[in-house]
């Protein structure tokens, strides 16, 4: 970096908040807002030089514009269940951006405008329950993001009746939700076009910025090929990268032959971690331990390829051995159901995936870095039951 950045606990906390939250609203979190303002210049220098990110400091909010190298499924709006939700959300967003701050409007007004703007092949029909539920999810997300505020009425009731009315108010934040792009949005045809245009702004130290983004936004960064330049950068500069992450974040960098990841030495409530308190992660740790002991064939990239039926048999064996200590649901579920949930978990945490063409389960090397077993005393208690 071009100069030493002073790091203290408050700056570490501010960075954590900026990366974990979409934005910090002054009206909602005045103390956090002030804390970040006090370290604005140090924070801007760090996120610009290392990640190529813009830190926007506005009188009403502070926002770190976070763009990944590759979009991940978890980066979507988790409350949304289908593409229609996103389309309606964007139409509603366009509606709010046309309004003045604190201007009030009725639910019936926004439904009319959304219906006109909706780009789908088939028009929206508010007598259709599915369409109404989609609108409810979109408006609740706008409310949660503090782009609009319900003054009177309950939008959930619209799901049961298209005649239900709600009074809304537009917030000062509505017109700042969308980020600015290097070019007119109509000139982009795919997500990749948008991501490519982003790197046109990051010609200086692009490799470093790609690596920092990958490490911060992926549970695991894998070596994707024999000559993967991003992974080669991680391996060559692992010491410097490790020092940087330990200085500016609570994370520690671990680098292996085919994988690199940021880890925490202790649980922190702010972050989404593996394993967590969900029972399925405990079962996953036992399955990982079982697979390690079986010493299955591993390819050059550290991957194990097995059929879904083979995986179900592994889960069945592990359930027989350690299932009595699992959460009630996974003790009683069939091996097939547990295996299906574990496959979803592997995909979610980038521990594995199912090949579309072959249907083969590819277990990636990151899963091999996890292991779980019970203490001896608990094992003895299970044996005596």
Mean pLDDT (10-residue bins), the chain, 385 residues: 63 91 94 94 93 93 92 86 94 92 93 93 92 96 94 91 92 86 79 81 84 94 93 96 93 95 85 88 94 90 95 95 89 95 95 94 93 76 69
Rounded to two decimals, the pTM is 0.87
Cβ count near 108 (within 10 Å): 14
Angstrom distance (rounded) from CA 77 to CA 81: 9
pLDDT recorded at residue 334: 95
Angstrom distance (rounded) from CA 365 to CA 356: 20
Angstrom distance (rounded) from CA 203 to CA 49: 12
pLDDT recorded at residue 1: 44
C-alpha separations of 253 from 261, 285, 327, 357 in Å: 6, 21, 32, 34
Helix (H) or strand (E) holding 289, with range, is: helix 279-294
Phi and psi for 252 in degrees, rounded to 5? Answer: -120, 135
Angstrom distance (rounded) from CA 135 to CA 155: 9
pLDDT recorded at residue 385: 65
Helix (H) or strand (E) holding 277, with range, is: none
Angstrom distance (rounded) from CA 269 to CA 266: 10
Q: From start to end of the chain, where are the E strands?
A: 24-25, 54-57, 61-65, 104-106, 148-152, 167-170, 221-222, 252-255, 259-263, 304-306, 352-354, 361-363
pLDDT recorded at residue 150: 92
pLDDT recorded at residue 232: 96
C-alpha separations of 287 from 102, 201, 247, 259 in Å: 54, 44, 35, 20
Angstrom distance (rounded) from CA 282 to CA 327: 9
C-alpha separations of 183 from 50, 90, 98, 206 in Å: 24, 19, 21, 20
C-alpha separations of 163 from 107, 108, 127, 160, 342 in Å: 10, 8, 9, 9, 43
Are β-strands 221-222 and 259-263 bridged in parallel, bridged antiparallel, or unpaired? antiparallel
Are β-strands 104-106 and 54-57 bridged in parallel, bridged antiparallel, or unpaired? unpaired
CB proximity list for 68: less than 8 A, separation 6 or greater: 75, 213, 217
Cβ count near 105 (within 10 Å): 18
- Check: CB of residue 306 under 8 Å from CB of residue 363: yes
């Amino acid at each position: 970096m071009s100069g030493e950045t002073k790091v203290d606990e408050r700056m570490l906390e501010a960075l954590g908040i900026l990366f974990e939250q979409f934005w910090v609203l002054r009206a909602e979190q005045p103390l956090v807002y002030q804390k970040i303002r006090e370290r604005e210049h140090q924070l801007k220098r760090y996120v610009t030089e290392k990640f190529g990110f813009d830190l926007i400091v506005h009188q009403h909010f502070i926002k770190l514009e976070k763009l990944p190298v590759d979009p991940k499924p978890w980066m979507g709006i988790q409350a949304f269940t289908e593409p229609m939700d996103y389309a309606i959300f964007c139409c509603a967003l366009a509606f709010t951006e046309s309004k003045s701050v604190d201007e009030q409007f009725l639910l019936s007004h926004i439904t009319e405008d959304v219906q006109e703007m909706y780009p789908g092949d088939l028009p929206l029909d508010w007598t259709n329950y599915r369409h109404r539920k989609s609108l409810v999810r979109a408006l609740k997300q706008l409310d949660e993001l503090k782009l609009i505020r319900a003054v009177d009425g309950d939008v959930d009731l619209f799901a049961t009746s298209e005649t239900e009315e709600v009074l809304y108010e537009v917030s000062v934040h509505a017109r700042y939700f969308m980020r600015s792009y290097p070019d007119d949005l109509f000139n982009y045809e795919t997500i990749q076009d948008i991501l490519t245009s982003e790197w046109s702004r990051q010609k200086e130290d692009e490799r470093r910025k790609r690596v920092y983004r990958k490490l911060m936004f992926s549970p695991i960064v894998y070596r994707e090929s024999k000559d993967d330049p991003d992974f080669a950068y991680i391996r060559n500069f692992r010491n410097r990268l490790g020092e940087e992450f330990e200085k500016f974040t609570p994370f520690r960098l671990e680098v292996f032959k085919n994988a690199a990841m940021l880890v925490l030495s202790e649980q922190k409530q702010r972050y989404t971690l593996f394993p967590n308190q969900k029972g399925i992660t405990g079962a996953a740790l036992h399955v990982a331990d079982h697979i390690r002991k079986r010493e299955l064939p591993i390819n050059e990239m550290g991957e194990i390829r097995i059929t879904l039926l083979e995986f179900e048999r592994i889960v069945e064996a592990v359930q027989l051995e350690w299932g009595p200590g699992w959460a009630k649901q996974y003790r009683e579920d069939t091996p097939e159901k547990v295996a299906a949930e574990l496959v979803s978990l592997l995909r979610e945490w980038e521990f594995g995936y199912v090949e579309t063409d072959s249907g083969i389960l590819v277990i990636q090397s990151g899963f091999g870095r996890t292991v779980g077993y019970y203490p001896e005393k608990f094992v003895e208690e299970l044996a005596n039951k």
